[in-house]
Structure 1
Amino acid sequence: MLGRFLDGKKNSMKAYVLMTVTAGASPEIQEELRSWGPAGGILEVDAVAGSYDVVAVVEAADPREIGEIVMGKIQHLDGVLTTVTLFSIG
């Protein structure tokens, strides 16, 4: 079962969103995502080294809501080139 308790919310889901971003855009993207905070579905944001540039931990009630955050908001941020969403299963 994917649902569980996260940040005090029963039956919420967590996903990791891996992003590639344009050169130099990482600080602004991180700042924007952090400003959304838990109320906006963002639990954590970090810059990373490797194939991706930024990773965000997203929490929502169900996969559809996570999709709305990723496809409806994150993918529309200036500088975000690609996203990969990994749903937590345990």
Structure 2
Amino acid sequence: MSSTIRAYLLIETQAGESNAVLETLKLLQQTVQVDRVTGPYDLICIIEAVSLDEVGEIVREKIHTTPGISRTMSCIRFK
């Protein structure tokens, strides 16, 4: 993708829900990669979009509405 916005989404899941959340996130068209991690967050999901507005829309309408997600933090990549 040329001139895309890449965002790293740090995701905390509810207990026992990380596998289901990971599989759901993999299905999103904008998902580049999803990994399990250690630390305060359970997953890191990398997404790409054409604009910051689209990143916001994805986070609000697709990520925050995913069952099992309790908290997120979005980090936008600098070029």
TM range (shorter): over 0.9
Structure 2 counterpart of 1:42, which letter? Answer: T
2:32 to 35, 43, 53: 43
2:25 to 22, 33, 36: 33
Instruction: Work out the CA distance in 1 between the residues paired with 2:76 and 2:6.
Output: 6
Runs of 4+ with >2 A deviation = none
**TM-score (structure 1 length as normaliser):** 0.84
Structure 1 counterpart of 2:11, which letter? Answer: M
Report how many aligned residue pairs link the two structures: 79
Instruction: Work out the CA distance in 1 between the residues paired with 2:13 and 2:53.
Output: 24
| Alignment of structure 1 residues 70-85 onto 2, 5 Å | 70-85=59-74
Question: Match for residue 15 of structure 1?
Answer: 7
Provide the identity percentage. Answer: 32
Q: CA RMSD in A?
A: 0.8
Instruction: Work out the CA distance in 2 between the residues paired with 1:73 and 1:87.
Output: 17
Can you give the 5+ residue segments of structure 1 that lack an aligned partner in the other structure?
1-8
Larger RCO: Structure 1 or Structure 2 (Cα < 8 Å, ≥ 6 residues apart)?
2
Question: Match for residue 4 of structure 1?
Answer: none
**TM-score (structure 2 length as normaliser):** 0.95
2:16 to 24, 46, 49: 24
Can you give the 5+ residue segments of structure 2 that lack an aligned partner in the other structure?
none
Instruction: Work out the CA distance in 2 between the residues paired with 1:86 and 1:20.
Output: 14
Please state how far the C-alpha of 1:10 moved relative to its aligned partner: 1.8
Instruction: Work out the CA distance in 2 between the residues paired with 1:84 and 1:27.
Output: 19
